[in-house]
Chain A
Amino acid sequence: MSRAIANGEHECGPDEHCERAQDTTPFGSNEIRLTPRQWLLALSTLVVLAHVLPSTWRWIEPFDPGPDYRIPYSLGEDYWLYDRWCRQAADTDATLLVGDSVVWGHYVTNRQTLSHYLSQLSGRPFANLGVDGIHPAAMVGLIEHYARALKGRRVLLHCNLLWMSSARHDLQQDEESQFNHPRLVPQFFPRIPCYRESLANKLSNVVERNVAVFGWANHVRAAYFGNSDLGSWTLEHPYDSPFRALTLRLPSPDGPPPEHAKPWTQRGIEMFSPVWVELDTSLQWRCFRRTVEILRARGNRIFVLIGPFNEHMLQDQSRLAYQQRKAEVAAWLARAGVAYLVAPVLPSELYADASHPLADGYAMLAAELLKSPAFTLVEDLGS
């Protein structure tokens, strides 16, 4: 761009009181007007603050996960906290369990999860990096953007075929539908038919996952303002200072056992017959493979746990189709050179629903894993 210097006119900036000849349009109705240099300074200051604030917050907000920690349920979409938990877990010698609510422990306390029993039975540390409700299409976003700290670590990745049990679960139905963790899924490619978010919000999601300060702002909102924005919070608390809400105390992962922690047969759940999606066309399976590729590219030693699915709930035809999908997944992992275990089917009374074990079920599963030569090999080689 060139300076407008013609006929003796000079460039008039915000620090001066002069008007360009023939330009009588007022700038505005306030004095908030900066020169180009001042804008450079302002934007630089903003960039520095955007970097410093989250780092400083990590320093002042106590976060002492301890054994058996898991992301609190209410902070399941607080991906900045998840990133922080990943960094701390990766700093230890723990094997990192990554997966959905099966890993997280939907029907059990944090001391009854798979990671807890693995730690207890083996005497070695296992960290629960599960996120409730996360499906493979969201998992790929989580791993790619918020789990970079896991680089080079031992990872046990859970594969839950429940996400391929119907077109709806596989995110392939044409009608718009709500699903978990939409901010993590691929926003543009591959196209998700039922994901009809506006272009503006999709772009916003892409910006958020690539600019850390936005994730940190979401963390503060989720942890201290009940997941609502500041405006909505002040409406509920009109006379409270927002600063007083910043208690620096994160919710505890502990809690009483969930009220539905009983066998599925006692909860009125009936047998069902899902229409399993073919793996070749499955969006969720495609995303799961992508997650494996990302972890391998980062030098992780991966072990995949397939299941355990509650096959007792399946009708005969559907059970056969499920077992076929299991075999196909196992075959792909074998070809890809990824260590895996097809989890044995647990006794019926140890399941709370189609895919979640109860406490005794997790204990049994942990014992099975520790007996697996492939798992032991990954553990030994990675330590």
Chain B
Amino acid sequence: MLYHTWTFGLFFALGYSVFLLIRNTRLRVPWLLVLSYVFYAFACPWYLVLLLCATTVDYLAVLGMARTGWKRSFLAAAIVLNLGLLAFFKYAHFFSDILLPVGLSFFIFQSMTYSIDFYRGQVAEEPSFLRYAAFVSLFPQLLAGPIERARNILPQLRQPARITWQDAADGLSLFVVGLFKKVALADYLALYVNKVYDAPDAQNASALVVASAVFAWQIYFDFSGYTDMARGVARALGIRLMLNFDNPYLATGLGDFWRRWHISLSTWFRDYLYIPLGGNRHGELRTYVNMALTMVVSGLWHGATWTFGLWGALHALYRVFTRRLESSPFYTQRVPKFVKRLWVFALVTVAWIFFRAGSFGDACIIVRRIFSSGDWGDPGCPVLVLVLVGSVWLYQIVYQSRWEGLLRLAPVRLALVVLMLLYLVLMRPTETRQFIYFQF
């Protein structure tokens, strides 16, 4: 069920009405669970079996850890079972028609935080299976994150719901911004990107460069738009989800970029892979190895293809070469901020080429044409695309500048909201597009 459809509107209107009536009773969590399972069943009812399996594995693992002394064994079993399930569906398409169930990568990782954090003593055992199941399946973030931690959400589900008018208003604000990002921006940018990337050998270098840069924004709007809507819906339910994107194209270094992009996944890999591998505690060489491994695995989490692996490897290479540079006095003090931002954007965009390309061959064609064809003709990119992207980038720059106060003025906020809503009403596209990250 896509957030930006009337189907979801109807589902949420009905579900939320009941939720408000029972929000201060013991039925709140079971009702959230029912809504979440109905929401997931819309994709395919059989997927509920997987959801239940993933939920049960970690719940039982923690039960076992708590009741016996075999903590390591239960944790290892949980990890093997979870990753085995994930790997099976990620790689199954190589030898069968089995599709990756939507959301699997996300809720398996989310469920794993419970058993791992319990092992580390960072979260208490959850006595209620219903509450735990509600945490794993929480519908606002079930399909594409943010990948939450048990220690963040379970306490919120244990406490009585505190929902104020401001929460509802905040939920609406987040939802509308997310909806605008997805429908008005991401889906629009996709038209140009698809046109170019579907036939890269027929495009000139200008079109390939512009389309790659536009894709960088498309995927940001698509994914952060989804996250905003998810956070907005959760907010209205009285649940605070973590921030998942923090204006990543304002990053002044690659390290900074990964602290702003898909924060829930990057912190997951930091806490559950990079740090257990040793992090930066065993010398520089080992740090680079750990970093590279984490980035490559992160790439492969997106999909079992060369392009995703290369995307991760490219980012690993970037980090290896830029880590020292970014902490050098020259970089921190002498290089202007806008140059850093453009530099990071350029590097990230080159990596996105591999992420977006239809195949490894296509990615090579694109890179070759950009860097050696010399054909710099008309890119044919709609001016409106550049205007919209430029406006958003400018907004973000002002947001993180000393003129931020201008954006906080009530008339400015009101005007922006009315304009976004009007744009959505008047310019709605004739086609509803899936979210990019649903394929992971």
Q: Could you tell me if B413 and A34 are in contact, using CB atoms closer than 8 angstroms? A: yes
Chain A positions 181-237 with a Cβ under 8 Å from a chain B Cβ: 198-201, 203-204, 207, 213-214, 217, 220, 228-232, 234-235, 237
In the bound complex, CA of A234 to CA of B418 (Å): 23
Report which of A14, A200, A229, A232 forms a contact with B6, defined as CB distance below 8 A. A200
Chain A positions 224-279 with a Cβ under 8 Å from a chain B Cβ: 228-232, 234-235, 237-239, 242
Residues from chain A with a CB closer than 8 A to the CB of B362 are: none
Binary interface profile of A, 18-40, with partner B (CB < 8 Å = 1, else 0)?
00000101111111111110110
Known: A217-B425, A231-B187. A4 touches B162 (CB 8 A): yes
A13 on the B face (CB < 8 A): yes
Interface residues on A, range: 35 or more
In the bound complex, CA of A238 to CA of B381 (Å): 6
Chain B positions 136-195 with a Cβ under 8 Å from a chain A Cβ: 162-166, 168-170, 172-174, 176-177, 187-188, 191-192, 195
Residues from chain B with a CB closer than 8 A to the CB of A91 are: none
Known: A3-B165, A11-B164, A15-B408. A25 touches B170 (CB 8 A): no
B414 on the A face (CB < 8 A): yes
Q: Could you tell me if B173 and A200 are in contact, using CB atoms closer than 8 angstroms? A: no
Count chain B CB atoms within 10 A of each CB in A198, A230, A239 and give the residue with the most: A230
Q: Chain B: which residue is nearest A221 at the CB level? A: B430
In the bound complex, CA of A43 to CA of B383 (Å): 30
A46 on the B face (CB < 8 A): yes
Residues from chain B with a CB closer than 8 A to the CB of A12 are: 166
In the bound complex, CA of A13 to CA of B169 (Å): 10
In the bound complex, CA of A213 to CA of B382 (Å): 26
B5 on the A face (CB < 8 A): yes
Known: A13-B166, A33-B170, A238-B383. A45 touches B418 (CB 8 A): yes
| Nearest-Cβ distance from residue A235 to partner chain B, whole angstroms | 5
| Nearest-Cβ distance from residue A274 to partner chain B, whole angstroms | 34
B7 on the A face (CB < 8 A): yes
Residues from chain A with a CB closer than 8 A to the CB of B222 are: none
Known: A30-B395, A46-B418, A46-B425. A38 touches B165 (CB 8 A): no
In the bound complex, CA of A26 to CA of B263 (Å): 13
| Nearest-Cβ distance from residue A54 to partner chain B, whole angstroms | 11
Residues of B within 8 A of A (CB): 2, 5-7, 9-10, 20, 162-166, 168-170, 172-174, 176-177, 187-188, 191-192, 195, 224, 228, 231, 240-243, 245-247, 380-385, 395-396, 399, 404, 407-408, 410, 412-414, 416-418, 421-422, 425-430, 432
- Known A-B contacts: A50-B425, A199-B7, A217-B425. Give 12 more (CB < 8 A): A14-B173, A28-B231, A29-B224, A32-B177, A36-B165, A43-B421, A201-B432, A234-B384, A235-B191, A235-B382, A238-B382, A239-B382
Q: Provide a sorted-by-A list of 28 A–B residue pairs whose CB atoms are within 8 angstroms.
A: A3-B165, A11-B166, A14-B170, A23-B240, A25-B240, A25-B241, A28-B173, A28-B231, A29-B243, A29-B396, A31-B412, A32-B176, A33-B413, A34-B169, A34-B413, A34-B417, A36-B165, A38-B414, A39-B172, A41-B414, A42-B421, A201-B432, A203-B5, A217-B425, A217-B428, A229-B427, A229-B428, A238-B380
